């Protein structure tokens, strides 16, 4: 049973410490100052809209943050009469707390000049909070809210959090699959989200260990592309790097064998680029992963072309995909036109319709000429 103080406490904003292990910041702020953490939250989380609401409406009492005492031993001592004598780490609500702190500190150099200003009569010097004894007491709540619930973290934050929680459970179970099952049950995960993101993070770790010679920050920022690429292990990309379908995978070992590291390097560079700025990436749009890269990796000739020349379009043409693209779009256009035939007479005097119709006729003439 989680140790939690009864009721909601009004805590002075100045007594609130932003979490150095905030999953939204990838857990990379453990040695950073509070100003540095606020700067990262401001730059990464786009809090202007939230700050504007707080500046105009004040803090809604119905949305208390969740905190733990800076010193866990103080928990039993804390009550409503001495609440101001202690400091508290914000476990849930770091965006809101940062917004309030930045609004109150008008002399800060973190925000832009158009950052909102507090309206007269709005008091943000205290924030409603629920107090737990330690982080572990809040884990299930955070998991449900940010993994299975409607306040989801970004892909990397979610994967890292899941990976760490599974490993923590695994200290007891000594069985990763069992640990995944336990966490999935705790948060009501019926779609294998925990298992998928655990695997995505393990693949990411191998990319860091076996492929990268530079910072992985740009991959963390585009981590959802790993999800698109690997799905449940049943994609041509997963097959190319030797990753088995997730239902058959052995989670105790490295997921990518050493004889497939070159392929892992290829995929990493095609999708994320060749340096920490993402330069030389062949994927400018995530949709190209499914529509172009996956068909290429199902065709040996296309793979060889892509590896040799780094030419995505040329490799795709070798898959027969371009033929299907052309024929498919012609058929799609035909069906769309057929569906509106009965409505056309109503718009025969409409200038916008007539202009579009002339452009269509021009396109048809161009196709005819190309076919001569």
Say how far apart CA 285 and CA 293 lie, in whole Å. 11
- Confidence category of residue 325, pLDDT binned at 50, 70, 90: low
pLDDT greater at residue 129 or residue 137: 129
Q: What average pLDDT score do residues 200-206 get?
A: 97
Lowest mean pLDDT of 5-9, 208-212, 289-293, 356-360, name the range: 356-360
Return left, alpha or beta for 93; rule: phi > 0 is left, psi -120 to 50 is alpha, else beta.
Answer: left
Share of the chain above pLDDT 90, in %: 77
Average pLDDT over residues 71-75: 96
Residue 142 has pLDDT above 70, yes or no: yes
* pLDDT score of 94 more than 90: yes
Q: What is the pLDDT of residue 324?
A: 66
CB 271 within 8 A of CB 279: no
State yes or no: pLDDT of 63 exceeds 90.
yes
What is residue 29's predicted lDDT score, i.e. its pLDDT? 60
Instruction: Compute the average pLDDT of residues 176-191.
Output: 93
pTM (2 decimals)? Answer: 0.74
Q: Which alpha helices (H) appear in the chain, and where do they start and end? A: 34-45, 48-57, 94-104, 139-143, 155-173, 176-187, 193-210, 217-221, 224-230, 236-240, 261-272, 287-288, 294-296, 300-309, 312-317, 321-340, 351-371
Predicted pLDDT of residue 326: 76
Helix, strand, coil shares of the chain as percentages rounded to 5?
A: 60, 5, 35
- Mapped onto helix, strand or coil, the DSSP state of residue 2 is coil
Distance CA 367, CA 363 (A): 6
321 pLDDT tier (thresholds 50, 70, 90): low
Residue 2's pLDDT band (cuts 50, 70, 90): confident
pLDDT tens, position by position, 228-252 = 999 999 999 999 999 999 999 999 8
> Given this model, what pLDDT does residue 32 score?
85
Phi, psi angles (nearest 5°) of residue 65: -80, 170
**Measured between alpha carbons, how far is residue 64 from residues 1, 3, 7, 211 in Å?**
21, 17, 11, 43
Spatial contact of 233 and 245, defined as CB atoms under 8 Å apart: yes
**Averaged pLDDT, 322-333:** 76
* pLDDT in the model for residue 1: 56
pLDDT, tens digit (0-9, with 9 covering 90-100), for 3-55:
999 999 999 999 999 999 888 776 666 678 999 999 999 988 889 999 999 99
pLDDT averaged over every residue in the chain: 92
Write out pLDDT tens, residues 274-305.
Answer: 999 999 999 999 999 999 999 999 999 999 99
pLDDT for 360 beyond 70: yes
């Amino acid at each position: 049973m989680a140790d939690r103080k009864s009721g909601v406490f009004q805590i002075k904003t100045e007594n609130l410490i932003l979490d150095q292990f905030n999953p939204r910041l990838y857990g990379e702020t453990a040695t950073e100052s509070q100003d540095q953490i606020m700067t990262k939250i401001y730059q990464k989380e786009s809090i202007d809209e939230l700050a504007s609401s707080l500046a105009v409406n004040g803090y809604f009492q119905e949305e208390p943050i969740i905190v733990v005492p800076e010193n866990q031993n103080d928990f039993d001592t804390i009550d409503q009469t001495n609440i101001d004598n202690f400091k508290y780490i914000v476990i849930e609500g770091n965006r809101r707390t940062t917004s309030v702190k930045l609004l109150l500190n008008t002399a800060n150099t973190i925000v832009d000049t158009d950052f909102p200003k507090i309206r007269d009569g709005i008091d943000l010097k205290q924030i409603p909070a629920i107090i737990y004894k330690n982080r572990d007491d809040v884990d299930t709540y955070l998991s449900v809210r940010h993994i299975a619930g409607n306040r989801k973290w970004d892909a990397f934050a979610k994967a890292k959090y899941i990976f760490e929680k599974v490993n923590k459970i695994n200290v007891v179970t000594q069985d990763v699959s069992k640990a995944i099952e336990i966490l999935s049950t705790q948060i009501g995960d019926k779609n294998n989200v925990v298992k998928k993101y655990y695997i995505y993070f393990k693949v990411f770790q191998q990319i860091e260990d076996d492929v990268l010679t530079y910072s992985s920050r740009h991959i963390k920022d585009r981590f959802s592309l790993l999800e698109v690429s690997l799905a449940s292990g049943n994609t041509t990309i997963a097959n190319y790097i030797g990753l088995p379908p997730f239902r058959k995978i052995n989670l105790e070992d490295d997921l990518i064998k050493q004889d497939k590291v070159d392929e892992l390097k290829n995929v990493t560079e095609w999708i994320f680029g060749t340096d920490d700025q993402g330069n030389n990436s062949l994927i400018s749009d995530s949709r190209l992963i499914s529509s172009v890269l996956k068909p290429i990796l199902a065709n040996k000739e296309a793979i060889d072309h892509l590896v040799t020349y780094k030419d995505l379009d040329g490799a795709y043409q070798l898959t027969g995909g371009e033929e299907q693209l052309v024929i498919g779009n012609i058929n799609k256009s035909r069906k769309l036109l057929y569906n509106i035939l009965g409505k056309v007479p109503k718009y025969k005097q409409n200038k916008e319709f007539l202009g579009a119709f002339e452009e269509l006729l021009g396109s048809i003439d161009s196709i005819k000429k190309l076919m001569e």
